[in-house]
């Protein structure tokens, strides 16, 4: 089975757009981080199983907890049980109907999850709770994206040992799962009953050494438009802090997107964008709502011309991976930072039911200037 990782608003791509396409394409399962994401996923039309990876009932306010319980009963996600405290919280609540749960085992990641030697007791306790139905058991890799890393092999062996030790304790049909994007691509022995691709689902290799292992095509590009084009004389400042001063007569372009939209300040004087007539460097500091381009060496452009800030080709200098390298971070962060005023629009085969889309556009909404979008 395939479990589509849809947390973080589908890694910044918009649950409301991505989920119906994946459901039509046959994805059997989905996973999210929070209960609210599970609700959003149901409201987007997702009719299949949902796993909440976090612990939504770990709240102090009893009124808030009761509200969350009502949401669990209404929207029917499966919950993660990672320790006896979470189980005790659930056991105290009149759930009115049976709730599916997956037990998470910490095989070496060091986040939530019971330790391997605690798994059997937790399984028994869940099985003894009438309002809970054990439908899954899982773990998560810490280093599957690192080439030839011993910890990934050790975690897999630990999970296999846990499953072997549990033996007949596990109910028939329980779903065992562990593989993230990297393990889905490079560790077939970790596939078990279900895989959980995340970044790869959106067309990006989860690690540089996995480029070319499977054919991936990014589904999003981020576009905006020029709002201003003007000439600056020699010696003119561009942007806050005077980090760029023109050394020649400069044709300047302004784009209405900035760090509020996830195009972060660290890209100041350090990135390029695509225009209809070639690439242009970003100059000066990226502001909250605007950035500046040097258009001097290009054919004439005018306000309204489209600017591609994040390209959907893996080999472009403004691809998600290229931007991540420049920021010394990971592609996940580049995508998840895209702000909420960026409007996500489906185009191309995303509009065709049953086809995994080729292009998703996002654009900042309610700008006073031409909007920015991702496709």
Say whether 181 sits in a helix, a strand or coil. helix
User: Residue-wise over 356-373: b if at least 16 C-beta within 10 A, else e?
Assistant: bbbbbbbbbeebebbbbb
Provide φ and ψ at 16, rounded to 5°: -65, -25
Query: Smallest Cα–Cα separation from 255: which of 218, 306, 299, 300?
Result: 306
Catalytic-role residue among 7, 104, 363, 373: 7
Beta bridge partners of 345: 361
Beta bridge partners of 223: 373
Look up 74 and say whether it is catalytic. Answer: no
| DSSP state for residue 355 in the 8-state scheme | S
Q: What is the largest CA-CA distance in the chain?
A: 78
Query: Smallest Cα–Cα separation from 107: which of 79, 144, 78?
Result: 144
Distance CA(156)–CA(172), nearest Å, equals 22
Beta bridge partners of 346: 360
Catalytic-role residue among 75, 240, 332, 373: 240
Look up 124 and say whether it is catalytic. Answer: no
Catalytic residue numbers read: 7, 240
């Amino acid at each position: 089975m395939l479990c589509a990782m849809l947390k973080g608003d589908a890694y910044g791509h918009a649950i409301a757009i991505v989920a119906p396409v994946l459901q039509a394409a046959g994805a059997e399962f989905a996973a999210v981080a929070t209960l609210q994401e599970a609700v959003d996923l149901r409201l987007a039309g997702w009719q299949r199983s949902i796993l909440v990876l976090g612990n939504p009932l770990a709240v102090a306010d009893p009124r808030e907890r009761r509200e969350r319980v009502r949401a669990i009963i209404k929207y029917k996600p499966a919950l993660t049980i990672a320790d006896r405290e979470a189980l005790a919280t659930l056991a105290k609540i009149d759930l009115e109907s049976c709730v599916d749960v997956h037990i998470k085992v910490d095989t070496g990641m060091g986040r939530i999850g019971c330790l391997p030697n605690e798994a059997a007791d937790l399984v028994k306790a869940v099985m003894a709770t009438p309002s809970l139905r054990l439908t899954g058991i899982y773990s998560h890799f810490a280093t599957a994206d690192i080439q030839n890393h011993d910890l990934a092999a050790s975690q897999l062996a630990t999970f296999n040992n846990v499953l072997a030790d549990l033996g007949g304790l596990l109910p028939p049909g329980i779903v065992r799962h562990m593989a993230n994007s990297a393990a889905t691509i490079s560790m077939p022995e970790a596939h078990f009953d279900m895989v959980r691709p995340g970044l790869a689902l959106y067309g990006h290799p989860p690690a540089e050494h996995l480029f070319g292992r499977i054919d991936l095509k990014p589904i999003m590009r981020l576009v905006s438009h020029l709002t201003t084009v003007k000439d600056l004389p020699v010696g003119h400042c561009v942007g806050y802090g005077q980090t760029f001063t023109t050394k020649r007569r400069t044709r300047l372009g302004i784009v209405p997107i900035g760090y509020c939209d996830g195009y972060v300040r660290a890209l100041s004087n350090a990135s390029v964008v695509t225009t209809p007539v070639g690439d242009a460097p970003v100059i000066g500091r990226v502001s909250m709502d605007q950035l500046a381009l040097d258009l001097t060496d290009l054919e004439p452009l005018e306000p309204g011309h489209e600017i591609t800030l994040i390209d959907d080709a893996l080999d472009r200098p403004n691809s998600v991976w290229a931007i991540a390298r420049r920021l010394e971070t990971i592609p996940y962060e580049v995508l998840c930072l895209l702000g909420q005023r960026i409007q996500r629009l489906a185009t191309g085969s995303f509009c065709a039911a049953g086809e995994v889309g080729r292009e998703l556009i996002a654009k900042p909404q309610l700008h006073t200037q031409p909007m920015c979008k991702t496709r």
